[in-house]
Amino acid sequence: MQAFEYANPMTVKDAVALLGASWTDANVLAGGTDQLSLMKDYIHTPKRLVNIKNIKELAGIRKAGGNLRIGATVTLDELIDNREVRMAFPSLVSAARGVGSPQIKNMGTVGGDLCQRPRCWYFRNGFGLLAQKNGRSLVDDGQNEFHAIFSQGPAKFVSASSLAPALAALGATVTIAGPNGTRSVDVASFFVAPSSDQQREVDLKPNEIVTQVLVPMSGAKNASYEVRLKDGLDWPYAAAAVALRMKGSTVESARVVLGHVGPTPVVAEGAASALAGKSITEEVAAQAGESAVQGAHPLSGNAYKVQLAKTAVKRALMEAVKRA
């Protein structure tokens, strides 16, 4: 790992001031479960590392207006254990539980989960976010079984965050602090497909910090379903999160978001409109799954993910309406 200066600020203001104009000036350190691996592999080489875990304003979960406010440094374990989260957002609890390791759940934070870098093995081996060599995509002709079935332009990696699909379906927003104050972005638009290696996959500047996530307590029925190879350690192959606003047993409006199939969480508008006005039966849920994968373009080695995504949608829907 390249040597760096370690900073341990106590306020968001100080932390922002310690960050810099470029990603090599400084990086944020939260749980470190991804950041330290990236530094060991020289993918991130910051001159300064700014630990944000001792900033009190970033901690804790509480009700704020009609939202549940989840601080950026809340760990996955704290999230799973929180009473309010359990009652209102089962989709979030099951997404966090999917991270199979107690060690990672104890260390990893909500902010870090959203900002973690893609696991694309070309990116992790130094070929850049778009995994190109001499202008050609290494992914297209290479090992792409875990890559996107919804590529966006040259971006063929998949967003790694397990929490993002659930948060996007719930209509959550992230609050971001920078040198000019704070701004707020929908989780769904926080993720962006980069068109060059210089861009990031999230709407975040090098001198900005995610401070919190606000999840509306709208009473929507919600669930998520992840397809994993095993009950244990690894990222899901495909996932779906749903949030349903119901009138009796009829869906008034729905949000369906796919995870691990594209460079951003994929908001499945088609599936949402297929659900409006219907009661959820196996058949309706399966149709929504079909609609959700319209427009998928698998790569040479990952057509299997289309079926997984369909199934994830169906199972998430059935799970959401199973709950009273």
Partner 1 sequence: MQSKVHVRTAINGEPAEFLCEPRQSLLECLRDLCNLTGTKEGCNDGNCGACTVEMDGRIVTSCLVLGVEAEGAQIGTVEGLARGTELHPLQKAFLENAALQCGICTPGFLVAAKALLEQEPEPSEARIRLWLANNLCRCTGYDKIIRAVQQAAREMKEARP
Ligand X SMILES: Cc1cc2nc3c(=O)[nH]c(=O)nc-3n(C[C@@H](O)[C@@H](O)[C@H](O)COP(=O)(O)OP(=O)(O)OC[C@H]3O[C@@H](n4cnc5c(N)ncnc54)[C@H](O)[C@@H]3O)c2cc1C
The item of partner 1, ligand X, none sharing an interface with residue 116, based on CB under 5 to 8 Å by kind, is ligand X
Q: Residue 319, interface with partner 1 (CB under 8 A)?
A: no
The 33-52 contact track toward partner 1, x by CB under 8 A, reads x--xx-xx--------x-x-
The item of partner 1, ligand X, none sharing an interface with residue 264, based on CB under 5 to 8 Å by kind, is none
Distance CA 19, CA 27 (A): 7
Strand partners, 258: 240, 266
Given strand 173-178, what is the order of strands in its sheet?
A: 61-64, 67-71, 209-216, 173-178, 181-186
Site stretch for partner 1 (CB under 8 A), options 100-108, 140-148, 246-254, 291-299: 100-108
The item of partner 1, ligand X, none sharing an interface with residue 126, based on CB under 5 to 8 Å by kind, is none
Neighbouring C-beta atoms of residue 228, cutoff 10 Å: 17
Task: Name which position in 104, 185, 192, 286 contacts partner 1 (CB under 8 A).
Answer: 104
Site stretch for ligand X (CB under 6 A), options 78-86, 100-108, 121-129, 249-257: 100-108
3-state SS record for 10-77? CCHHHHHHHCCCCCCCEEEECCCCCHHHHHHCCCCCCCEEEECCCCHHHCCEEEECCEEEEECCCEHH
Task: Name which position in 15, 148, 160, 299 contacts ligand X (CB under 6 A).
Answer: 160
The item of ligand X, partner 1, none sharing an interface with residue 152, based on CB under 5 to 8 Å by kind, is none
Distance CA 113, CA 160 (A): 8
Angle at alpha carbon of residue 208, lines to 202 and 211, rounded to 5°: 90
Q: Residue 77, interface with partner 1 (CB under 8 A)?
A: yes
Site stretch for partner 1 (CB under 8 A), options 101-109, 138-146, 268-276, 297-305: 101-109
Q: Helix, strand, coil proportions of the chain in percent (round to 5)?
A: 35, 25, 40
Instruction: Give me the residues that bind partner 1 (CB under 8 A), please.
Output: 1-6, 8, 29, 31-33, 36-37, 39-40, 49, 51, 53, 77, 100-104, 106-107, 231-233
